[in-house]
């Protein structure tokens, strides 16, 4: 099959994005609009061949640029409108995105106002679920009470453990995740990206999550992979991010294809397109070119996103049927 055929196939399929940081998805066009002299052209970190030297470098670049834009609920609303518009252009029907809890402390912004600003930007034809991204060291005297209040926000879909895996796994985290689950929130955790496979086991066993963000390094431990299979855990993976951040040396070495063969459910997302200059379409093209994924395997990954989506069964089945119909045309 040709690249043209792949592009046509991808465009025909309804899709999901299940791992997206909204600050890290800031459209570059907004920075260009705000300060043309400073942000014109393509910066070094958005060049096709650029790779970050470390997570710290990535985080520094991301914070530097995101903080140039995000300073109010209105700024989140304007960014979200453009982000979601891009999703519609790619035939994305369902998105899970998170905003960083630390912004409530850094900028003294009311978190529920940020949440509402994002939700009000959702266009017709797109379903969006908003999560609160919480770092392992987030329970500061200022932020701790705000985290507790956040679980009362009716429109908050869930929480996600973010940030450096090298930080201590503090004792408050399992209790907080348990409380969130008891209140009907979806719980996720970043694990097995820069940290070892044992971090994936820790997130599954202690936080009782069904969704792991990344989980790339689970391939290092057969027992952890068996745990993922036995408990039906989904890995929300971001291959280009993993390559750009040196989690893997080459895209050809990404474990997603082996995970699929073993029966581990995976989805595909962009993570932080501000930092990686990638789209959801780019992710699938990379998997096709570098890992030789078939059109049917790409369709399976896309279907997985709907299987885990927080949608009514009728909606899920409708999208899954569309994917099956388009895939059947390949035969």
- How far CA 236 is from CA of 18, 113, 267, in Å, comes to 6, 27, 5
Q: Which of 258, 267, 257 is nearest to 233 (CA)?
A: 267
- At residue 28, what are phi and psi to the nearest 5 degrees? -60, -30
Contact of 241 with 276, CB cutoff 8 Å: yes
Tokens matching residue 113: 């106002």
Tokens matching residue 52: 């970050």
- Identify the DSSP state of 41: S
Tokens matching residue 251: 């895209």
User: In which element (H, E) is residue 78 found?
Assistant: helix 73-89
Contact of 118 with 99, CB cutoff 8 Å: yes
| Rounded Cα–Cα distance for residues 140 and 203 (Å) | 21
Residue 305, CB half-sphere, CA atoms under 13 Å: how many?
A: 27
Contact of 66 with 133, CB cutoff 8 Å: no
| Rounded Cα–Cα distance for residues 256 and 6 (Å) | 19
Residue in 17, 96, 112, 193 annotated catalytic = 193
β-pair partners for 160: 133, 188
| Rounded Cα–Cα distance for residues 323 and 330 (Å) | 11
- Identify the DSSP state of 4: H
Classify residue 312 as exposed, middle or buried by CB count within 10 Å of its CB (0-12, 13-18, 19+): exposed
| Rounded Cα–Cα distance for residues 221 and 26 (Å) | 35
193 noted as active-site residue: yes
Residue with tokens 């530097």: 64
Active site residues: 193
């Amino acid at each position: 099959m040709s690249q043209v055929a792949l592009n046509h196939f991808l465009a025909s399929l309804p899709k999901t994005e299940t791992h997206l940081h909204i600050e890290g998805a800031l459209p570059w066009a907004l920075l260009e609009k705000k300060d043309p002299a400073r942000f014109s052209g393509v910066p070094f970190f958005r060049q096709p061949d650029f790779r970050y030297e470390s997570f710290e470098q990535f985080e520094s670049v991301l914070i530097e640029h995101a903080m140039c834009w995000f300073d109010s609920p209105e700024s989140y609303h304007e960014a979200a409108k453009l982000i979601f518009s891009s999703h519609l252009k790619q035939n994305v029907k369902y998105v899970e995105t998170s905003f960083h809890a630390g912004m409530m402390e850094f900028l003294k912004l009311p978190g529920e106002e940020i949440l509402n600003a994002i939700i009000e930007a959702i266009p017709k034809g797109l379903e969006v679920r908003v999560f609160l991204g919480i770092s392992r060291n987030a329970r500061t005297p200022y932020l701790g009470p705000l985290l507790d209040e956040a679980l009362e926000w009716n429109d908050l879909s869930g929480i996600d453990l973010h940030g450096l895996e090298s930080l201590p796994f503090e004792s408050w985290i399992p209790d907080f995740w348990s409380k969130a689950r008891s209140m009907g929130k979806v719980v996720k955790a970043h694990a097995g990206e820069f940290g070892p496979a044992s971090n994936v086991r820790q997130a599954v066993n202690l936080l009782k999550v069904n969704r792991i963000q990344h989980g790339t390094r689970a391939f290092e431990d057969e027992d952890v992979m068996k745990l993922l299979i036995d408990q039906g855990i989904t890995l929300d993976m971001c291959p280009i991010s993993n390559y750009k951040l040196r989690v893997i040396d080459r895209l050809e070495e990404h474990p997603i294809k082996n995970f699929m063969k073993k029966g581990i459910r995976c989805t595909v997302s962009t993570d932080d397109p501000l930092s990686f200059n990638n789209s959801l379409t780019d992710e699938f093209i990379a998997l096709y070119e570098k890992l030789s994924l078939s059109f049917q395997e790409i369709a399976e990954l896309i279907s997985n996103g709907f299987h885990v989506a927080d949608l009514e069964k009728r909606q899920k089945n409708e999208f899954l049927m569309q994917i099956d119909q388009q895939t059947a045309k390949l035969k």
